Amino acid sequence: MISVGTALLSLTTGSLAVPVVSEPSTTFSTAPAVTPPVRPHTNVTEHGPYTGPPPTTTGALTTDVLAPSIAALPPGPDAFKYPSDGKLHAPLPAPYTPSGGLGTNGSVPVYRMLTDFDYESVALALYQEWIELDLFHWGLATFSVEDFEEAGLTAEDRFLIEHMANQEVGHATLLSNMLGAEAPVQCSYNYPVSNVREYIDFCQKLTRYGEAGVYGFLPHLNARDVAQLLLQSITTEARQQLIFRQFEGLFPMPEWFEVGIPQSWAWTLLAPYISSCPANQTRLVWQNFPALHILNQPNPARINGSNVWNETTGGYTNTLSTADIKEDESCLNSTEVGVNCSPGISRNRTNPLSYPGRQVFLQWDEPGQPIGPNNSYITNTTANPPMFAAWVSQLNVTYTPLEEIKDNSAWTVQPNMETFAGDPAVNGTIFLVLTDLDLYVTPFNLTMLNPHVYAVGMYQSG
C-alpha cells in the first residue's frame, strides 16, 4: 500500500517537465470595497485679477508675538551623544527593531494636526493643491488642440496633464480630511501666461515651489503621521515638476538634491496668483515678501536662453515671455541636437541657460502692497535694505554681494560652487532672495533667514 504522501511525491517527481495550465471553470466575484469619496470640487469659472471691494480684513493671521525673531541657539544637549559607530546601544523593543524613532511606540495614528505649526503648514499645502487642480484644468480648457500641438504636445501629453489634475483631487481630499471642517476651499485664480509655452513654464515653476515648500516644513511637523501621508503626496508633485520640465524641453533633473524652502517663501510665491476666495476662508499666518524681478531671467524658449532682457511676465515666478522671440530665435522647431527644445524625455543645451560668473540684473518692489486672495494680505519685510543675493539650491545657501545698488535695483554675479564635486549647486529651477545679512543657515534651519529677507523670486538657472 502506498501512502498518500508517497503517491503525491511520485506524481510530482514524474511530472516535473510537464507544464500545468489552469483553465477557468467558473466565474468568481467579490464584493466591491468601500471607496472613500473625494472632496467636492468644481471647475473654477472666473479667472483674472481681483476687482472686488477693498477687503475688510487685511494682513496675515496673528496673535500675540513673543519676539521679533527666534533666537539662534547651540545644538541640543543630546546632539553628539549617540556614538554612530554601527553598533546597537540599547535593548530592541521588538525583534529586528532598533530602539529610537518617533511614532514607533505602537500608538495608533490619528492623522490630525497637533499644533498651530502643523495646521498652518498643511493649510498652505492645501492652497497649493487647489491652485494646481485649477491650473491644469484651466490650461486644457483655455488653449486649443492646435495650440498644444504647435508647442509639440500631443493628445497623450494633454491626457497626462488631465491625469495630474486628477491627482490633485486626491491630494486636496487627503489634506482636507486631515485638517477638518475649516480646511481652505477652492478660490479663483489669475495666471501670468498667454500661450502654451508660457503656461508650461509657469506650471513647472509653480510645482517647484509647491514641492519645495513642503520639503521645507515636513521634518518639523509635530504630527508625524500627517507627515507620512503628506510625504506620499508631495513625491507625486515632484514627478509633476519633472514632467513639466520635459514638456518644456529642459533637462528633467539637473540637480542631485531637491531644495526645501520656508513656508513664507512658498506663500509669497503662491499668493499673487490667487484672486479671490469665498467669505470666511481660512486665513494663513505666513509672511508675504515683496517681489524680486530678474531683469535678465534666462528664457528656455530661446536658442540662446541667457542672452535676454526683460522677457518675463512679471515678478515672483519670473515666468518666461515669448512676446519678443522671433521665429529664428526660437529653439522649439529646431532639429539640431543641443538646440532643439521641443518636449522630450531629456534635452541638453549647447548654449546653457546660465553659468557661473553671469551678471544678473535685479529689481525689487517696496513692501506694503496688497496681494493674494481679495487683496487681503500685505507684503512685508523686517529686513534692512538688501545687501546680498542668496542663491538657494539643493543643500546650499550661497551669498553674493549686490553691486551698484540704486533705487531698488542692483546686479550680482551668479556664483561658482558645487554641492559635491561634479554637481554645480546652482542648476535647475532655484530660489533667489535678497537679504540684508549673509547669515549662515542650512536646509534644516533655513527659516532663521526670514527676518533678513527683503524680496523673493525664482531663477531659471538650468
Using one digit for the tens of pLDDT, what is the confidence trace for 13-22?
Answer: 444 455 555 5
Inform me whether the pLDDT recorded for 417 exceeds 70.
yes
Inform me whether the pLDDT recorded for 25 exceeds 80.
no
Cβ–Cβ < 8 Å for 294, 318: yes
Tell me the C-alpha distance between 299 and 191, whole Å: 18
Inform me whether the pLDDT recorded for 189 exceeds 70.
yes
pLDDT-derived band of residue 396, with 50, 70 and 90 as boundaries?
very high
Inform me whether the pLDDT recorded for 3 exceeds 50.
no
Read off φ and ψ for residue 230, nearest 5 degrees: -65, -35
Inform me whether the pLDDT recorded for 337 exceeds 50.
yes
Q: Is the pLDDT higher at 363 or at 71?
A: 363
Cβ–Cβ < 8 Å for 116, 110: no
Q: Which of 52-56, 180-184, 411-415 has the lowest mean pLDDT?
A: 52-56
| Average pLDDT over every residue of 289-302 | 97
pLDDT-derived band of residue 45, with 50, 70 and 90 as boundaries?
low
Inform me whether the pLDDT recorded for 24 exceeds 60.
no
Question: Could you say which DSSP state residue 262 is in?
Answer: -
Read off φ and ψ for residue 272, nearest 5 degrees: -60, -20
Look over the chain and give the mean of its residue pLDDT values, rounded to a whole number: 91
Inform me whether the pLDDT recorded for 64 exceeds 90.
no
Q: Which of 8-12, 25-29, 320-324 has the lowest mean pLDDT?
A: 8-12
pLDDT-derived band of residue 4, with 50, 70 and 90 as boundaries?
very low
Say what the pLDDT of residue 142 is: 97
Q: Would you state the cell numbers that stand for residue 444, as one nine-digit string? A: 534644516
Cβ–Cβ < 8 Å for 462, 352: yes
| Average pLDDT over every residue of 153-182 | 97
Question: Cα separations (Å) of 414 from 294, 311, 439, 440?
Answer: 12, 19, 18, 19
